[in-house]
Structure 1
Amino acid sequence: MYIPICGYLEIIIFLPSKTVPFSSSHKIFLILNQESFAEELMASRRILKELRELQRDPPTSCSAGPVAQDMFHWQATIIGPNDSPYAGGVFQVTIHFPPDYPFKPPKVAFRTKVFHPNINNNGNICLDILRDQWSPALTISKVLLSICSLLTDPNPDDPLVPEIAHMYKTDSDKYESMARSWTQKYAMC
């Protein structure tokens, strides 16, 4: 039975006295914050809608979907763009949706090692739409396309790895050679 109490939801479960003799009343009270429950429900609906859209019209060179039955944890695959030193690479990416998605951005990280000024050794990505430029109007499809674009056109003026950004600006041939080498080593079967 659900009884709202001061912005909370109270769930009462009655247990038979023979199965769990733990108190005289045999009641367990579980309090859930109604706001967080509503946010998570809204996030689940939005994530499901985006999954259906991705299945119907996937972005070029990308795929994504939930890990097992967890709609808040996805695995994505990005094929390195042809016009980049990442061409031919298959990059694995994790996506974690917060409970208040789409009002907060997803946490997106590369699992495959990438030599890039905007992607560090932990796979973290420096991309404005995953931080301060996030908007609820954005979708995972648009995020994946933005990451593909970042592989083609790095942003050395907002680097996560300053040394690689410096190399990109001062010795682009060396940068491209290193990026190709890492792609062959870590992103090709």
Structure 2
Amino acid sequence: MASSISNSENLPPHVLRSVSKEVVSLSQEPPEGIQVHINHDDITDIQATVVGPEGTPYVGGEFKLKMVLGKDFPAAPPKGYFLTKIFHPNVASNGEICVNALKKDWNPQLGLKHILLVIKCLLIEPNPESALNEEAGKLLLDNYNEFFQRASLMTEIHAKPQTSSPTTTAKKAKIRKDKKKTLKRL
């Protein structure tokens, strides 16, 4: 998955200043349903939480993601990774995200905000034709209800915020365990 080593020494100072301004701006005025987390020790460690949109199997989930800036940024696009497990055609098992904004359609002028919005839109409108998760892509095309059920179950298990009261924690752990068993059977 994404490296945890800082990339700031590989980027020119003017790029670091630009990234810093954009990340601070995004954290102060985030796009709807997206929260950007600033790592003050490494501004190139760009992490965000995307709230699963209504009407999708991801609703109510909080999906953590990370963007990795390569040494050629902004000439080359960053790489995007979901840190939260998700059942989605355009997300590989290691969390890598496949979306045109991070590949052939990359445009440095659009910036990080655009990428975050495109990733959020990907939760609403997956693209099974460019699937990194072939099983999810095939299921989306062949049996949407089963895809929706499986993606909802993964969201419930991995992305729903946990509340922690002693009595509900044990119950929720058992429910999660049962859901994981159900998911394995699928």
Q: For the Cα contact (< 8 Å) 1:167–1:174, is it kept in 2?
A: yes
Residue 18 of structure 2: aligned partner: 46
Q: For the Cα contact (< 8 Å) 2:57–2:151, is it kept in 1?
A: yes
Structure 1 residue 46: Cα displacement = 1.4
Residue 99 of structure 1: aligned partner: 71
Residue 99 of structure 2: aligned partner: 127
Structure 1 residue 115: Cα displacement = 0.3
Higher mean Cα deviation, 99-108 or 86-95? 99-108
Q: Deviation per CA, 1:123-165: give whole Å up to 9, x if none.
A: 0011011112111112111111101100000001111112211
CA distance in 1 between partners of 2:10 and 2:66 (Å):
25
Task: Give the strand-richer structure, 1 or 2.
Answer: 1
Q: Deviation per CA, 1:89-116: give whole Å up to 9, x if none.
A: 0111112222332211112100100000
Residue 34 of structure 1: aligned partner: none
Query: How big is the alpha-carbon RMSD for the aligned residues of Structure 1 and Structure 2?
Result: 1.6
CA distance in 2 between partners of 1:104 and 1:151 (Å):
24
CA distance in 1 between partners of 2:10 and 2:146 (Å):
51
Structure 1 residue 76: Cα displacement = 0.8
Q: For the Cα contact (< 8 Å) 1:85–1:179, is it kept in 2?
A: yes
1:186 maps onto 2:171 in alignment: no
Equivalent position SS for 1:113:
coil
Question: Which of 118, 124, 127 is residue 152 of structure 1 equivalent to?
Answer: 124
Higher mean Cα deviation, 58-67 or 48-57? 48-57
Q: Greater CA radius of gyration, 1 or 2? A: 1
Q: For the Cα contact (< 8 Å) 2:27–2:38, is it kept in 1?
A: no
CA distance in 2 between partners of 1:90 and 1:97 (Å):
23
Structure 1 residue 53: Cα displacement = 2.3
TM alignment of 1:48-87, pairs within 5 A: 48-87=20-59
Structure 1 residue 83: Cα displacement = 1.9
After TM superposition, the runs of 4+ consecutive aligned structure 1 residues lying more than 6 A away are: none
Structure 1 residue 81: Cα displacement = 0.6
Structure 1 residue 52: Cα displacement = 2.9
* Structure 2 unaligned blocks of 5 or more: 1-8, 163-186
Report the AA paired with residue 136 of structure 1: P
CA distance in 2 between partners of 1:139 and 1:63 (Å):
16
TM-score with structure 1 setting the length: 0.76
State the percentage of identical aligned residues. 33
Residue 144 of structure 2: aligned partner: 172
CA distance in 2 between partners of 1:49 and 1:111 (Å):
24
Report the AA paired with residue 54 of structure 1: L
* Structure 1 unaligned blocks of 5 or more: 1-36
Cα distance change, pair 83–104 in 1 and its aligned pair in 2 (3 A) = same
Equivalent position SS for 1:91:
strand
Equivalent position SS for 1:157:
helix
